[in-house]
């Protein structure tokens, strides 16, 4: 019979295996940290854009009040026409 004899790994083999697994884990952690930083940056940019949009919304509502109109009843085309008339 040809039985394969299994040898115990040496201490050096174990250290090499663990070292390679540790390096792989460190690469994964670094990649995840980079993705997290990237996602956080995008979230911050979106939050800033949202704040600007909300400020613009408030400004438009105030302009509509000057015309005596309700925001829900005015189309953007009507508002643009009114502003164009004012500029003339």
Q: Return d(Cα 52, Cα 55) in angstroms, integer.
A: 5
Model confidence pLDDT, tens digit, residues 47-70: 999 999 999 988 888 888 877 776
37-57 b/e (C-beta count within 10 Å ≥ 16 → b): eeeeeeeeeeeeeeeeeeeee
For residue 55, give both structure tokens: 């400020």
Give me the residue label for tokens 């500029």.
Answer: 87
Q: Which of 87, 78, 33 is nearest to 60 (CA)?
A: 78
Q: Is the pTM of this model over 0.75?
A: no
């Amino acid at each position: 019979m040809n039985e394969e004899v299994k040898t115990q790994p040496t201490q050096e083999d174990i250290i090499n295996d663990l070292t390679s697994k540790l390096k792989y884990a460190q690469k994964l952690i670094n990649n995840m940290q980079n993705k997290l930083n990237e996602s956080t940056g995008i979230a911050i940019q979106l939050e800033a854009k949202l704040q600007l949009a909300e400020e613009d919304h408030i400004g438009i509502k105030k302009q509509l009040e000057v015309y005596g109109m309700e925001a829900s009843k005015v189309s953007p085309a009507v508002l643009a026409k009114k502003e164009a008339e004012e500029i003339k």
